[in-house]
Structures are given as C-alpha cells and as structure tokens.
Amino acid sequence: MVVVTVGNVVSTVETDPGYGQLVAALFRRRLWLVGIFLSLLSAVTIYTLLKKPIYQSSMQLLVEPNYQSKKDSGAGAENQFADSTVEIDYSTQLTRMRGSQLLQKAVALLQTDYPKLEAAELQKALVLTQVEEDKVKTKIFQVVYTSDDPEQTQKVLKAVQQVYQDYNREQQKLRLTRGLAFVDEQLPLVEKQVDRAEDAMEQFRKSQNLVDPEVQSRALIDALSNVQKERRSNQAQMQEVQGRYQSLQQALALSPQQALIAARLSQSARYQSLLNEIQKSELAVVQQRLRFKAASPFVQQAIDQRQRQRDLLAAEVGRILGSNAAQVQTQGDSGLSVGQLSATDLTLASALVDAQVNLVALQGRAQSLNEAERSLQQQLRRFPTLLAEYGRLQPKVEIGRNTLQQLLKARQDIALEIARGGFDWQVVEEPKLGKQIGPNLKQNILLGAIAGLMLGGVAAFIRDTMDDAVHTPEDLRQIAVPLLGMVPALQYEEGLAALVPFRETAFLAPSLMQVVHWQPFRESLDLIYKNIQLLPSAAGLRSLVVTSALAGEGKSTIALGLAISAARLHQRVLLIDADLRRPSLHQQLDLPNDYGLSTLLLRQTPLRSNGDIQPSHRYADIPLSILTSGPLSADPAQLLSAERMGDLMQALEQAYDLIIVDAPPVLGIVDALLAASFCTSMVLVGRIGHVTRAELTQATALLSKLNVIGVIANGSDQMANRYLSYERKGQLATL
C-alpha cells in the first residue's frame, strides 16, 4: 500500500493484486482461455481416439546376487574366496540385466515370432525395477513390458525370463570356477608361509630355551611376588626375634655364649659339689688365718687344700665345656659364681640361646630370599624383548594356519557347489497375457482439460499483463488521485430507450438525450457531484475543469451530466466548451457555434455584463447555461493563456454559482493546463478499457501542480450491473 498526496487530497493506493483482480483478468480474456482450453481438449480427444491400444504385462523374480559381500558374516567360504571380478550388488545387477547384451539374446529367441523386433526397441519398452516394501528394497525384481500386442508382451517376458535364468547360472558357474582356481593358486603360497612362520617360531624357542614366553613370564612374575611376600614376612619375624633377644640379654646381663656356659655348669652336680667344697676350704683358710699367722703350717695346709679343690674344679670345667673352658676362670673368686644360676636364670638363658638360634636362622633365610628376588628380577628383564619377538612370530603362525584352514574348507565347499550346479532365480509372478493400459479416454480428457485450463489461464494472464489498459475502477484507484465515482456503461444490447424514459427537448440531440436521461447515468452523476461537494479540497468550489488523458473518454458527456446534477440542486450553472481545437459540445447539443468562448477571448473591449455571453439555453426548469467554444482559432493556447481568460472567469464566477469547463485532453496539448490554471478545481475522466495506466500516470504527473480533486471512472460494467440488480429487487418487492 502506497500513500500519495496530490494537492490537499491524501489518496491510498493499493498495489497488491487480489483474487478478484485475477478473476476479472480471466473474465476479460475469456476468449483466450476458452479458445486454448477447447483447442487442447479437442486435440487430446482426437489423439486418444486415433491412438492404438497399448498392452502391458509383468513378472517378478526373486534375485539373489551372484556374489555376496565379503563383509557378510554369514557368507559361506565359497563367497569369501570367489573371484572379485564377478562381484556385483543389486544396482549393478539391475544395470547388467537392462543391458543390450542380455536383451539381444532374448531377441534371438523371439526371432521366429517377431522377426522385426530389435534389441533397442525391446530395451526401450522393457522396465526393470527393484520392488520396495515400506521404503525398504527387497530382493524381488519386477519386469514390465509394454506393446500394442497382448500376446507379444507375454512371450517377450517369457524369453527375458529364460535369458535371465541362463545368465544367473552362467554367472554362478563362472564365479565358482574362478573361485576354485583362486583357492588352488593360494594354497601352496599359504602353506609355504605357514612353514616359514613355524620354523621361525621353533628356532626362537630353542635359542631362548622357552616354550611360551607369555606363560613363563607370568610364572616368573608370580614367583617374584611370592618371594617378595615371604621376604616381607621373614623381615617381620626377624624384627620380632631381635627384640626378644635383646630383652633376654638385658635381663641376664650375659651374652648368649656366657649364658650357655653358665647353664651347663649350673646343671653339673659334681661342679656344684666342688664349688661347695671350695667354699668350705675358703672358710677354713679364713679361720686359720684368724688363729694363726700367715706362715703357720695350719694356714698353709688350708691354702693347699683350697688349691687342690680349685684344680679339681678346673678339671671339671674342662670336662664339661671342652674347648670353651678357657672362658671360665676357676682360680679367682669371680669365676666361682659363673655356674651358680637359679632356675629362673636357667630358663632365661635357655630362651636367650633359642632366640639367638632363631635370629641366625631368620637372617640366613632373608639372605636366601634376597638372592632369589635378584635372580628372578634379572630373568624378567630379558622377557620384554622375548615377548615382543614372540608377539611378532605368533600371529604369523596363527594367521597362516587359519588362512590355510579356510582355503581347504573353501576348496571343499566350492567343489560341492560346482557339483550341485547352483540355484535358479525363483519366479515369484509368472508373465501373463497383456492387459490394456491405454489410451485412457477419461484420463486423457481430464488431463487435457486441466492442461487446457492451465495453459489458457497462463495465456490469458500473459495477454492481460501485456495490456496496460484500465479495465476496472480498482485500476483507477492505483493512480495518485481519489476515485470520485463510477459511471455505468451503456447497455446497447437491450436498448436505452427500453431501459429509461426520456422526453424531447429543444436542445438535446437524441443520442445524448438518451444518455443524460438514462436513470443509472443520472444517479451515478448525482452521487459523483455529491462526493465532490463533500471533499475538503473542493471547499468553496466555483469553477471545475473536466478533462481526460485522451480524446474519446466521455469527458464532455460527464461534464454535461455534472452540470445538470448541479443545476438540479438549484444552482446557477454554466457549462463552457473550452476545446478550441475540436469542439463537439455544440454538435451534440445541436447549438449554434458562431458565438462562444473564442469570441469573448478575442474581443478587445472589456466585459460589460452577462449580455456579452450567449443567451442561456435552459433545460426545462433547471438553471443551466451553456457557452460553446465559438469559431476555431489559429492559436488556441494563446487565447487560453491570455489575461482576458482570467478576467472572463472572474466575471463568470460572479454571475454563476458553478462553472464547469469541458477542457481538451491533457496529453499532447497544453490547453487543459491553461484552462485549469484559471479554475479552482479539476476532475480527470478515465474510460474503462480505453485509457492505459501509463497514460493516466502521465496525465496525473502533468496535473500534479493543480488542484486535481479526483478521477471519474466512465463505462463501468460493475455500476450498471449493480443498478440493474437493485432495480429488479425493487420490482420483486413491489410484486
């Protein structure tokens, strides 16, 4: 939607075409639409009636591919080792089955019945597709053949069926034969590879003195773990025994060796008896020394007795301790207390000796475990290299053995498959006698009708688009001035005399009289004049120019109609014919033209009164005066642009309530612009189906500086139809 301002009038312009305009365009170009529709429909009907009948037959085959994919986990050994040159999928299968090589074989089978049949013709009429179920492609292929002979469709499909089955068997045999040759070729190579891999593995085991490095490495790791566990346990025991040993040693204040000697001596009865005797001898020596002097024989005798007893004690110690006897002093007083331990001390001494023995044993075990751990760790350091070498050799052996086993099995399976002879493609649906599928008269007529409507509509739209003429009042609304109203088109086919009453007058020609007195015309002009009065831009309207873009658009008739409508409202109205080049108003009204506008403009004397104007021609009791154009002038533009024209208009505006000027067309001449420059307002007339949008746009552009208050649509079929419909409804209501 575009808003345009012209003068003081704001106009809303609708630019988007609606459905009504599209239908109107089709109606205007209905001859194009109907002509193309009937032509195409007739051509389709004649073509359908003259065309030969067409028959169609079909069959369906369950097609297994001649080579399954090697990635198929369920594929047999013969498929895994088949020749890759015959490997095809369903798409390739379809392409090969449509190929001329196979179809030529079918043509050869049909030469007896159809000698003129060629492979290219068969390939063109044969349709091969893969059947789909719920958008999933199946293994079923459908073959459809079309011909003008129903028996030929069936025979051709049977021949094609035989060719396809023979092709399947040949492909299977070729695949299996090449597969067997491939297996036989690969077997010696694989056997050599297996032998080399096994020899390398055997040499590795002998050189490394290993059977399975992985198993042995795991065994060494387990052994190392056990040794480390035992070492930790032995360390804990050793710490426990060490603590007990130190506690016992502190309690006895003896070393383990001393405790052992003391224990042995304490357990000897003779040693204890000798100790007792020595103690008695010591006591006797002390007593004798107290009685006698040191040189007394009694003292010396007691000392000798004591010495003999000590010698006996030393001999006893030597007997008990053997080589350890030197560690015990038997001659002094301190050595006499070594072998005198209590029962508790004997128990502690025994425990101390046991602790020492256990500690020595645990230390020896710890040393042994450490040596074992170092040995195991040293052996494990060489296993990463061994495992890497073993991991390189072992897969070669396993892969080679597996491949060899598969080849042997494949050879056996392929041989069995060749002996069995393969399998045929299953026929799901046998070919039958062809059924007629065309021509379908109803369908073709329907399609022809649809195509005819579409092409006719397109042609009508194109033709209407190429035509820039204004066809409806809505088209006038698209220019930059408001639409004041619509004047109905004349209904020539029914006759104006039968539609409207009229009466003879002294100055109206019969044709123009019929138009002016036609009721729809009168009503529309009254409405238009009322719209002009209601316009804000027409306030104080004293003079109005009626013009058009081109000649022949009915501006003179509209000007006369507006003048009569204004005069009927008891206004003093003057109608001026300002067309000084081709005046027509006096001819239509049968008035003399020897005195008129040009006469007044050519006078050199000033206007004196209304008497200078031609006497008024009155219509019945309506105050309507008419000023014709007068004699033709050599330079109309000079007359209309003179100051006398302005003076004349001022004088006339004082004498009349409204002056309507019938001006020449706008395009091509300047007369209308000159006349409008001396008037207060201006109206543009456009005849439906006559003036073009471009001409209207050009005219409004030229008048843009003037007070153009609106446009009037002349010759509207819509207005006439509305009036007739309203009139009929009134007549029915009266009945």
SS3 assignment for 189-212: HHHHHHHHHHHHHHHHHHHHCCCC
The answer to which of 31-40, 48-57, 469-478, 641-650 has the lowest mean pLDDT is 469-478
Pick from 406, 433, 493: nearest CA to 145: 433
Q: Which residues make beta-bridge pairs with 660?
A: 544, 575
Average pLDDT, the chain: 76
- Is the pLDDT reported for residue 316 higher than 90? no
End-to-end CA separation in angstroms for the chain: 46
Q: 138-196, pLDDT tens digit by residue?
A: 889 999 999 888 898 889 999 998 998 888 888 887 887 887 788 878 888 888 888 88
Residue-level pLDDT at 732: 38
Grade residue 3 by pLDDT with cuts at 50, 70 and 90.
Answer: very low
The answer to which of 30-34, 196-200, 255-259, 406-410 has the lowest mean pLDDT is 255-259
Looking at per-residue confidence, does 269 or 434 come out higher? 434
The answer to which of 242-256, 470-484, 547-561 has the lowest mean pLDDT is 242-256
What number is the average pLDDT over the span 199-224?
Answer: 76
- Is the pLDDT reported for residue 396 higher than 70? yes
Could you tell me the CA-to-CA distances from 240 to 77, 230, 235, 247, 251 in Å, in that order? 70, 15, 9, 11, 17
The answer to which of 205-214, 216-225, 413-422 has the lowest mean pLDDT is 413-422
Residue-level pLDDT at 664: 93
Looking at per-residue confidence, does 232 or 546 come out higher? 546
Please state whether 373 falls in left (phi above 0), alpha (psi between -120 and 50) or beta.
alpha
Grade residue 547 by pLDDT with cuts at 50, 70 and 90.
Answer: very high
What number is the average pLDDT over the span 39-66?
Answer: 84
Residue-level pLDDT at 208: 72
Give the integer Cα–Cα distance in Å for 593 and 585: 10
Grade residue 612 by pLDDT with cuts at 50, 70 and 90.
Answer: low
**Structure token digits, residue 527:** 């409405």
- Is the pLDDT reported for residue 241 higher than 90? no
- Is the pLDDT reported for residue 477 higher than 80? no
Pick from 304, 307, 310: nearest CA to 275: 310
Looking at per-residue confidence, does 1 or 130 come out higher? 130
Residue-level pLDDT at 504: 39
Grade residue 262 by pLDDT with cuts at 50, 70 and 90.
Answer: low
pTM score of the predicted model: 0.45
Grade residue 459 by pLDDT with cuts at 50, 70 and 90.
Answer: confident
Could you tell me the CA-to-CA distances from 250 to 254, 263, 352, 358, 360 in Å, in that order? 8, 17, 10, 18, 19
What number is the average pLDDT over the span 504-531?
Answer: 71
What number is the average pLDDT over the span 455-484?
Answer: 76
- Is the pLDDT reported for residue 500 higher than 60? no
The answer to which of 200-204, 302-306, 598-602, 725-729 has the lowest mean pLDDT is 725-729
Pick from 557, 555, 554, 550: nearest CA to 691: 550
Residue-level pLDDT at 345: 60
**Structure token digits, residue 53:** 């009948």
- Is the pLDDT reported for residue 370 higher than 90? no
- Is the pLDDT reported for residue 515 higher than 90? no
